[in-house]
Amino acid sequence: MAAPTPIADALAGWAAAARAAEQPLPDKFPCAACGIDRIVNAKSGTIRKHKAAKSDVLPCPGSGAPVLSARVPARSARGYYKDPETGDRYPSVTTLLDKGMAKAALSFWAAKVVAETAMDNLPAMLASSRTPEEREEFIKWLKNEPIRRRDDRGDIGRAVHRLIEARILGEPPPAQLASNPEFAPYIDHFHDAVRTWKLRFRASEMVVAHPGENYAGTLDYIVTSPLLAEALSLPPRSLLMGDTKTGGELDRVVYSGHKHGVYPQAGAQMAAYRAAPVGWLRDGTRIDMPECAPIAVVLHLRPEGWRLYPARCGDDMFQVFKGAQFMADFETYRSKNVIGEALTPPAPTSDAGDATTGRKDVA
C-alpha cells in the first residue's frame, strides 16, 4: 500500500471560508490596484469605477474587479461558468454530459411519468378536452410534470447540501429542514450514513475549473474516512470525492443492469471534477486542487434508506468524459455545418434523351 497522503492544506481553510462567504459583502473594499478602500457594488460584488488619483484621465485598473465571494465563478442559466476575474467562460460539466451522453432511459422515464399523471387525473383531463384553450392548458401542465418531479428532487438535493454545510461548520441542522416532514427521512438516513462510515466533510459545493480542457463544475463534496479508505484499499487519509443521488429506487436494478438512480455517468462526472486543477473556496480564494483518489463514492439517499456505492473516477473515466465533451461540442457547434441545402436538380440539356436512355439501361 502507498504511503498515507496528508490532507492537503488547500482545503484546511474551507470552514472559515464558508463562514466568511455567509457574511454580506462589505460596502467598501481595498482596491488591489490603488490600495484605497473603494465602494463595492452590492449587486455584482465588484469595485465601483474610480480614479486612482483625482488628476487621472483614465479609471483605476482595479475598477470593476470582483471582491471576496463574488470572485467564485457562478453557473449561468445557459450552462456556463464565468470566471469574474478573467472573464473566461467554461461550459458546465453536467451540461456537457447531458448533451454528449445518450440518455435513452430519460425519455422513457418522462413518457412514463406523463402517462401515469394523465391516468391519475382522468376526470380533469376529460373536462379540459371540451375547449381548445383548456385542452392546450392541460397538455402544457401534463408535459411539464417530468420537469416538476426533477425540480422536487433538486429541492431535496439542496437540503442535503445545507446539512453537509452545517456539519462542516459545526452547526446544528437548519431548523426549517429538521422540521420539514418530507425531508425528515432523508436527513435521518444521511446522518446514519455519516455515522456508519465516520465521514468527515472537507469541502462541499465547491466550484472547480479546468481552463486547459475548457470546462467547470460544482462538485458535491470531498470527504475523508479511514473506514471507507480501508474498504476501497486506499491510503487511510485519502481525499474522496462524493456525490448524492436522490432519484430512483433503493436496490432496484434496471434493464441495463445499473441500480435505479445510480448511473455510471457519475463516474465520468466526478472524473472531470477530479482532473480540474483549479478550485475556489467559498470566500473567493482560488486554490490549486488537492489530489483526490481515483475512486469516488455515490450516496444513494432515499426515503426508504441509503446505500453508499464506490465509483471509478480515474483517468479511464476522464477519457469517457472527454468523449462526451467532444460529442457535446458537435451538438452545440459543428453539427450546424454538416448538412447543406437541398440540391437543385440540374437543368435539362440537349442530350437529356441520352441520359434517360442510360438510366433505362441500368434498370
* Site membership for Zn ion, residue 60 (CB under 5 A): yes
DSSP letter (8 states) at residue 66? B
Would you state the torsion angle of the CA atoms of residues 265, 236, 292, 269, taken in this order, to the nearest 10 degrees? 10
Smaller CB separation from Zn ion, 38 or 167: 38
Which candidate, 248, 222, 229, 252, places its Cα nearest to that of 301? 248
Cell, residue 5: 497522503
Smaller CB separation from Zn ion, 65 or 193: 65
Cell, residue 32: 488591489
Among 33, 110, 250, 254, binds Zn ion (CB under 5 A): 33
**28-36, 90-98, 139-147, 231-239 -> range binding Zn ion (CB under 5 A):** 28-36
- Cβ atoms of 287 and 281 within 8 Å: the answer is yes
Which candidate, 273, 287, 151, places its Cα nearest to that of 220? 273
The full length of the chain comes to 363
Burial class (CB in 10 A: 0-12, 13-18, 19+), 209: buried
Q: What is the SS3 assignment for 361?
A: helix
**Shortest distance (Å) from residue 87 CB to Zn ion:** 18
Q: Binding string to Zn ion for residues 310 to 349, with x set by CB under 5 A, is what?
A: ----------------------------------------
Residue count, binding to Zn ion (CB under 5 A) = 5
* Site membership for Zn ion, residue 62 (CB under 5 A): yes
**Shortest distance (Å) from residue 35 CB to Zn ion:** 7
**58-66, 112-120, 127-135, 234-242 -> range binding Zn ion (CB under 5 A):** 58-66
* Site membership for Zn ion, residue 105 (CB under 5 A): no
Other C-beta atoms closer than 10 Å to the C-beta of 259 total 19
Rounded to whole angstroms, the Cα distance separating 244 from 133 reads: 41
From its phi and psi, is residue 185 left (phi > 0), alpha (psi between -120 and 50) or beta? alpha
Which candidate, 105, 107, 108, 81, places its Cα nearest to that of 92? 81
Smaller CB separation from Zn ion, 60 or 289: 60
**Shortest distance (Å) from residue 112 CB to Zn ion:** 58
* Site membership for Zn ion, residue 34 (CB under 5 A): yes
**Shortest distance (Å) from residue 54 CB to Zn ion:** 13
**24-32, 72-80, 87-95, 288-296 -> range binding Zn ion (CB under 5 A):** 24-32
Among 15, 18, 31, 72, binds Zn ion (CB under 5 A): 31
* Site membership for Zn ion, residue 67 (CB under 5 A): no
* Site membership for Zn ion, residue 65 (CB under 5 A): no
Rounded to whole angstroms, the Cα distance separating 30 from 40 reads: 9
Q: Which residues bind Zn ion (CB under 5 A)?
A: 31, 33-34, 60, 62
